[in-house]
Amino acid sequence: MSVLDVRGVAVALGGRSVLRDVDLTVAGGELVGLIGPNGAGKTTLLRTVLGLVRPASGRVLVDARPVRLGRSGIGYVPQRHEFAWDFPISVENAVMSGRTGGLGLFRRPGVDDWRAVGEALERVGMSELARRPVGELSGGQRQRVLVARALAVRPTVLLLDEPFTGLDLPTQELLTDLFAEVASEGRILLMTTHDLVSALDTCTRIALLNRTIVADAPPSELLDPQPWMRAFGVGENSPLLKILKVV
């Protein structure tokens, strides 16, 4: 079973400490919600796992091997605004762009590459829109394209950066069910989200992050307000804590 192992990771960007002493281990079959306030380093941690950011200290291993940019087996769903939706490209070619990093400079996509793209589009319910320009898609359809793009690499590790932001409820439900299904296949999912209710309901574990891991446990063990108060820097009367009483 695949294992993501983050040990003692520290990251500084522009001379400012963003992450310090981050320890996090995720096994195949787990969907871990990475939760914390704005500026807590959540996206930076995802990019460090992906290999886009090099830690100042510590290590990130997948299956006991160091991660590096472009390594196969890691899929990444960025926030929607990070993709160039005005670029003249079809849905299927946008999804194929998730695989082109592993093709090499002179090799064109082959039968297996297009098969992977077709499988990914089918999983997100976008097969019928494969030839449509991405600029004509709705917000929910664009998000499904980004998920398909990550799934097309057939990842053992799937990194999700705020995948539910701005989505209607049907699309949220579709993706929630899909992520649970992907985890049930033995893959690793690490997801940042501001949707605390959904995270507490669907994630197998919650990791509270504010530059370092403040708490890490199954949702049922994180109903005490204290770790949330430490992670978010709020008092006992914060509206945030009312969510814990509802769940």
Please check whether residue 121 is in contact with residue 130, taking contact to mean a CB–CB distance below 8 angstroms: yes
Contacts of 13 (CB under 8 A, 6+ apart): 44, 53
The model's pTM: 0.92
What pLDDT, on the 0 to 100 scale, is given for residue 105? 46
In the predicted model, residues of the chain with pLDDT beneath 50 are 103-105
* Per-residue model confidence as pLDDT tens digits over 162-183: 999 989 999 999 999 999 999 9
What pLDDT, on the 0 to 100 scale, is given for residue 198? 87
* Per-residue model confidence as pLDDT tens digits over 141-169: 999 999 999 999 999 999 999 999 989 99
Nearest to 232 by CA among 179, 191, 196: 196
Cα distances from 35 to residues 16, 116, 119, 222, in angstroms, run 21, 31, 30, 12
What pLDDT, on the 0 to 100 scale, is given for residue 107? 63
Backbone torsions φ then ψ of 60, nearest 5 degrees: -130, 120
- Structural domains of the chain ordered from first start: 3-246 (3.40.50.300)
